[in-house]
Structure 1
Amino acid sequence: MTLLAIDCATEACSVALFDGGSLLAGEYRVMGRGHAEALVPMIAALPGKGKADRIVVSLGPGSFTGLRVGLAAARALGLAWNVPVLGYPTLDLIAAIARKRCGTQPVSVVTTGGHGEWFVAHYDAAGAELAPPLSMTPESATAACADLVVGSQAEALVAARGTGTALSLLPDARELAALDKACWREDLTLIYGRAPDARLPGARP
C-alpha cells in the first residue's frame, strides 16, 4: 500500500511517498512562508505525482495558515483519488524522530508558537504523551521540561535554563515511519494549541 505524507505545520514544508513503510521519495524545505505556493508542486514532483492509496497529514499544533494549507490539500487529493485521509499530531512526530536519534528516554518537545509563546508537549521514555500540548511562555516552559528538549526552540530553552540537552528539530514527512501508527487518527480536527488570533464580530472571548 502506498502512502502520501504531508507536513507543513511549521517553518518546514515536507512531503513523502511511501510503499509498504519504505520511503520512495520525499522533499523537505525550511521556508517560513510560502507553503501554499510550494506544497502542490512538491507533491506533483513525487513519483506518479504523489498519487497514493492513503494520505496522512499533520494536524498541529503549529502555524494556523500552514495547518489549513496542508489539510486542504490532503482533503482535496483524498477526494480526487477516492482514498482515505488520516492525521497525526505534529509534536508526536518530532518526539518520534527524537527517539529514533537519541534512544528511549523522556523528552519534551518545544516549538515556535504565537505571540512569543512556545508549544510544549512531554513524552515518557516509551514515547507516550503525558498531557495534551500547551502554549506556554518561555519562562514557564523552561521550568517544566525534561533534560532532553527537542524542537525548533530547544536550543533557546536549554540556553535559558543552563542545563540539559537540546536537539533542534522540525517535523519531516520523510520520517513518518518513525511514528507509531497508533498516533494516526481519523478525526481531522486541527490541533491549534491556543485560541485563534481573530474572532468573528460579536463573538465572545
Structure 2
Amino acid sequence: MLLLAIDSSATASVTLARLEPCAGASATILAHRETADTRSHAEVMAQFVREVLNEAGITGSELDAVLTGTGPGPFTGLRVGIVTARTLGFTWNVPVYGLMSLYSIAENTWEHAAAQSAHTFMVAADARRREIYSAIFALGDGSYELVEGPSVGSAAEAPALPAYGFGAGLYSEQLQTVEGYERLHANSRDLVHAAARLGIKNLSTDTAALYLRESDAKVPAARKKATRA
C-alpha cells in the first residue's frame, strides 16, 4: 500500500512510503522532506506534500492511506499537520490514521537501548516552559511497546531511565541523556517505520491532537458595560 505520512509535532516533515498493512512489515521510503527548524510548519507543509508525490511520480488519488502524528506538541504546529492530513484524506477519499509522534523517536532508538541491555527507556521532546513531553517504552521479543505516557512535566520529575530525544538533550543535567541522540526530533519517516511495525490497519482513525495541557491563548473576558452616574 502507498502511505503518505505527516508529522508536525516538532519539525515539519512529510514522507511517502510503500508498505504492507500487516504488523511487522517493512516500509520502503520513496520520498521524504523535513525542516531544520520547528516554526515553519504552515509555510512548508503543502509544498512538501507536492514535492514527495512529484518525486515518486505518484498522484494523490493513488494513495491508500494517510498517517498523521498526533503529538504531543505545541498547539499551532501540531494543528497544521493534523488538519493537512485530514484534508488530504477527505479530498482523496482515503482513511487517515493517527499515531502518537513519540513512537517515531522510540522506533529510531529502541535497538540502541536493547544493545545497552536496557529493559525500559524513555523518549523526550521539548514541551517548552522548561518541561518535556515524554513516554516510556519496554523492550522485549525483538521489539518495544508503550508502557506509560505520553505525559508532560518537569525533567526533574522524570524517572531515572535512559533518555532519548531532543527533550533529553535540553536537560542532560537532570536526565540520563543518551549521547548521540540529543538532537533527535519526532519525524514522519520514523513514524512510518513505527506504523509498519504495529501494522497500519491496527492503528486508530482517531486523529485528535495530544495537547496534554491548556493553550496559552485565552479568550478575552467580555467588556463590562459602562454605567452612567
Match of 2:85 in 1: 74
Out of 187, 193, 197, which is 1:177 matched to?
Answer: 193
CA distance in structure 1 between the aligned counterparts of 2:3 and 2:113, rounded to whole angstroms: 26
Q: Is residue 25 of structure 1 aligned with residue 31 of structure 2?
A: yes
- Alignment deviations for residues 38-62 of structure 1 (CA, whole Å, 9 cap, x no partner): 0110110113466221000000001
What SS is found at the alignment partner of 1:31? coil
What SS is found at the alignment partner of 2:209? coil
Q: Is residue 41 of structure 1 aligned with residue 42 of structure 2?
A: no
Match of 1:157 in 2: 171
- Alignment deviations for residues 61-118 of structure 1 (CA, whole Å, 9 cap, x no partner): 0121111000111111111111110110011221121114443632111111132211
What SS is found at the alignment partner of 1:160? coil
Identity across the alignment (%)? 28
CA distance in structure 1 between the aligned counterparts of 2:157 and 2:151, rounded to whole angstroms: 11
**Which one is further off, 150-159 or 65-74?**
150-159
Q: Is residue 134 of structure 1 aligned with residue 134 of structure 2?
A: no
Task: Tell me which amino acid in the other structure corresponds to 1:133.
Answer: P
Match of 2:2 in 1: 2
Change (3 A) 1:164 1:54: closer
CA distance in structure 2 between the aligned counterparts of 1:50 and 1:136, rounded to whole angstroms: 42
Q: Is the 8 A contact 1:59 1:190 kept in 2?
A: yes
Out of 108, 125, 144, which is 2:139 matched to?
Answer: 125
Q: Which has the larger radius of gyration?
A: 2
Q: Is the 8 A contact 2:70 2:208 kept in 1?
A: yes
- Alignment deviations for residues 93-144 of structure 1 (CA, whole Å, 9 cap, x no partner): 2112111444363211111113221112111113222222211113223xx1
Match of 2:227 in 1: none
Return 5+ residue gaps in structure 1 as ranges: none
Tell me how large the CA RMSD over aligned residues is. 2.1
TM-score by length of 2: 0.78
**Which one is further off, 46-55 or 34-43?**
46-55
Out of 151, 160, 173, which is 1:145 matched to?
Answer: 160
Q: Is residue 187 of structure 1 aligned with residue 193 of structure 2?
A: no
Q: Is the 8 A contact 1:60 1:190 kept in 2?
A: yes
Number of aligned residues:
197
Task: Tell me which amino acid in the other structure corresponds to 1:6.
Answer: I
User: Which one has more relative contact order, counting CA pairs under 8 Å at least 6 apart?
Assistant: 2
What SS is found at the alignment partner of 2:173? helix
TM-score by length of 1: 0.86
**Which one is further off, 179-188 or 90-99?**
179-188
Match of 1:196 in 2: 215
TM superposition outliers: structure 1 runs of 4+ over 6 Å: none
Q: Is the 8 A contact 1:134 1:194 kept in 2?
A: no
Task: Tell me which amino acid in the other structure corresponds to 1:32.
Answer: T
Return 5+ residue gaps in structure 2 as ranges: 20-26, 222-229
